[in-house]
Structure 1
Amino acid sequence: MAHALDTRRQQKERFLRAMHALQATSDRTLQVASPLLEHPRGLGLLTGPHLHQLAQQSQGLCVELDHVGHLLRFQQDRLLRRIPTPGGVRGLHCSVDGMLYLTFEEAPCIQILDLSGHSLHSLPCSLPGTGAFVSEDVTVTGSGLVLVSSLVHRAVYAFYHPSKASQGEWAKILTFESPRGLGVDALGRFLVADYVSGLVHSFSLGSSLKAIGLTTVPGLCGPRYVSNGPDGGFVVSEECGDVQLFGHAHQPLGSLGSRLEHPFGNPAGVCTDAQGNIIVVDEQRKEVTLFPRAGPPVRVVSKGLQRPTGVACASHGRLLVADNGDNCVKIFKYQM
């Protein structure tokens, strides 16, 4: 233990010395250059090739320093807690007030827990005349409205209270060919990944739970999970494919795999944290990778997962991963 602490202290000292050396050298060069550059011939013996090389090297150094900054802010494989989920989880969502909503492989209900794993409430998934149904995914608005998707009924349902005395019931919002992942973007619009059709649908809800402003984004290959993205857009994972990015007006922005040359195995759950970092579960590679706004990806979970599927961000730099190979939700600390 003492040896590990001593090694860590030495590493911190080396890092600080390197940063101070860069800063001191940069300051000295600027102090020398600033008065000379005011002279018409102030470049001295510097030539175009020198300046081109300097620009390239400084750009590379800036990228590397950004990456160092990311590595300083994040940590890897720090497991805080396991929440047992017998039978496996289909979908999960963490609300802004820190409540965990789970849908299950076999159980026709939505289980609501705190992040210590204590059960708070359960919403049975049942429709008059047709009976119980298993939900594919779940999402929750800031006001607490719960939406689920059902592959069997090819529909998205919202749980609401028609009267103050009501225990609540499910109302069908829209029908789709094969609704799977659900999300809510920064503008409060609902997002639905329509797997077989290769579409993502977006809509808002009026006061009477009527869908308004339905739009569709085509051209996807087996969309599984969808989440809000940076700057008001959204991100969607494709079965055994890539993770596609879209802007606030649903314009395509390319994919994480092609933009960063990152090889995905089978991307599954996706989410975006408060800083705009996109986090992706890779079911095949059994890892979780964070994609910052700038710089290379950072693996925040590299071991200890059996069959990870869903993912959600929580407060205080925590990450929730549904691991169906281990029948639990694992909570990691990924920020320092």
Structure 2
Amino acid sequence: MTEQQFIPQTYSNDIFNGSVAWESPSNIALIKYWGKKQDQIPENPSISFTLNNCKTTTVLTYAKKENAEDFDFKVFLDGEHKPDFEPKIETFFKRIEVYVPFLKLFQFKIETTNTFPHSSGIASSASGMSALALCLMSIEKELQPEMTSEFFNKKASFLARLGSGSACRSIEGDLIVWGENETVQGSSDLFGVKYPYEVHDNFKHYQDTILLVDKGEKQVSSTVGHNLMHGHPFAKQRFMQAHENLSTLKTILKSGDLDAFISLVESEALTLHAMMMTSMPYFILMKPNTLEVINKIWAFRKRTGLHIGFTLDAGANVHILYPKEEKDAILDFIKTDLKGHCQNGQFICDEIGFGAKQLIINN
């Protein structure tokens, strides 16, 4: 598909007011995207596990207005008006207006809540932007009832990407690929697609326990970090590596080789942070406790033979990945050996999920 196919020609219905609501999960990339072109196009493909428990719920209330010259909206988090969130939403609306031309026709109230603690260090942009994109698509579905479910999901992912790149991987689950590549047929730079190939039972109920090592604001934003890949001395090799790793992961997912899975995913996580450390200017988002946790995971895995591995996002927190069959022993290890490295002892137990859900509300 092309961008032009997401521009509606006409709407068959007219609507005046109402409310729509969606809950949408976060996701954790196994193969990382780092570096993007104009219009939120990734420099390399990525694949992620959709999470189940870490999610955002957004209620979008809309009412038609007389003046259609400007955007008119307010953002609320946990019931509190958040004017400082509104410039980011306005930027998002400007990017997507050509694809959802009804934006200036309505006054919007955006009410959002997260299941994970505020300022927990878990990126809420993926869940938040995908939930908002889905709400907007529900309005468009009312304007254009003949829209298919397949198109609805593709366009929701397309819109979410323009708010936050990784948000395009939160619409569906359980494994989502974003970025055009030769390994996955039907892959696209414009939206995420469900991973279409065989996946071994070993990966069907995978667990993700998120250690909240540091809940402070990152000293370098992801947007700045992505931009530092322009002119990065190792960028070209990194982009090639991601393509190669996706091909390798396809074989691993089919075979169920947990050891190979751990090696590839941990390498991807450390490569992401290596790109940060070798950019100009360089920066480090890992904290001392991040390294303490990683070393303890390695020692525990060697000692027990259990299939515990880790990945990292663009921050200090550690996502501990492991099969459900080994959950009891690994959770005990987390509670006894790793919890002390978390800020206020906080960690979140999550697992693979299957995408966003529309919520029924009484309009």
TM-based fold match above 0.5: no
Using structure 1 for the length normalisation, give the TM-score: 0.27
1 or 2, which has the higher strand percentage? 1
Structure index of larger Rg: 1
Identify the structure with bigger relative contact order (alpha carbons < 8 Å, sequence gap 6+): 2
Higher helix share: 2
TM-score (norm 2): 0.25
